């Protein structure tokens, strides 16, 4: 009986040691360089190019509006100055009102473009963020780690803990592209 108890105690001790050794072999913490992932992933680069194109189109449109409105503003200013402080006649007042209306329409158009671009950026970030979290969670679970930290939130880490390459490859495979469109109406934050 004594031998059986000693054998069981030795067996439990061996299993405990094996479990402790296995726990020591798998890292409790993993690191992902999210900045690198977001700069290098295929969908990220494609979306960034498309967003940059939309931003450039907005700048071009703003320049067009300015180039058409500026000469008209200068002409109206000269006409008002020529009056020497007198009240503008009905025709000049109508021209001024029409010009202000054009300015407001141009401003509203540019504001709508900006809101659309911001909504599109948010939609792209949402799609990439969701999938990135899923990919990181899959890697964490497969490696049986307790936590995954972003490289930017650590002061120093062992390179063996870095799974950025693995995450980047999986993200590229699972998310080759994203929709570069504004957020669906129901997903938009209130107040926009």
What is the pTM assigned to this prediction? 0.75
**What is the C-alpha end-to-end distance of the chain, expressed in Å?**
78
**Which three-class secondary structure state does DSSP give residue 179?**
coil
- The share of the chain scoring above pLDDT 90, in percent, equals 77
Q: Quick one: tokens of 144?
A: 């049986």
On the question of pLDDT at 105 being above 80, the answer is: yes
Given this model, what pLDDT does residue 6 score? 41
Confidence of residue 186 (pLDDT cuts 50, 70, 90): low
Per-residue HEC secondary structure of 116-173 comes to HHHHHHHHHHHHHHHHHHHHHHHHHHHHCCCEEEEHHHCCCCCHHHECHHHHHHHHHH
Across 87-100, average pLDDT: 93
Given this model, what pLDDT does residue 1 score? 44
Confidence of residue 189 (pLDDT cuts 50, 70, 90): low
Q: Quick one: tokens of 160?
A: 């063996």
Across 59-65, average pLDDT: 96
Confidence of residue 191 (pLDDT cuts 50, 70, 90): low
pLDDT tens across 129-148, in order? 999 999 999 999 999 999 99
Domain ranges in the chain are 26-185
Confidence of residue 27 (pLDDT cuts 50, 70, 90): confident
- The pLDDT mean for the chain works out to 87
Given this model, what pLDDT does residue 190 score? 57
pLDDT tens across 33-49, in order? 999 999 999 999 999 99
On the question of pLDDT at 2 being above 80, the answer is: no
């Amino acid at each position: 009986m004594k031998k059986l108890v000693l054998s069981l105690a030795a067996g439990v001790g061996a299993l405990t040691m094996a479990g402790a050794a296995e726990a020591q072999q798998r890292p409790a913490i993993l690191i992902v360089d999210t900045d690198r992932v977001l700069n290098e992933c295929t969908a990220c680069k494609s979306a960034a190019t498309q967003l940059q194109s939309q931003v450039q189109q907005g700048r071009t449109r703003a320049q067009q509006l300015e180039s058409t409105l500026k000469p008209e503003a200068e002409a109206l200013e000269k006409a008002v100055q020529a009056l020497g402080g007198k009240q503008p006649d009905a025709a000049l007042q109508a021209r001024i009102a029409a010009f202000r209306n054009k300015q407001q329409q141009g401003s509203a158009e540019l504001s709508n473009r900006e809101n659309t671009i911001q909504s599109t950026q948010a939609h792209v970030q949402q799609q990439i963020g969701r999938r990135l979290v899923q990919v990181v969670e899959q890697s964490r679970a497969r490696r049986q780690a307790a936590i995954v930290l972003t490289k930017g939130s650590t002061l120093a880490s062992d390179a063996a803990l870095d799974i950025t390459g693995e995450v980047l490859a999986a993200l590229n495979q699972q998310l080759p592209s994203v929709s570069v469109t504004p957020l669906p109406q129901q997903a938009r934050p209130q107040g926009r």
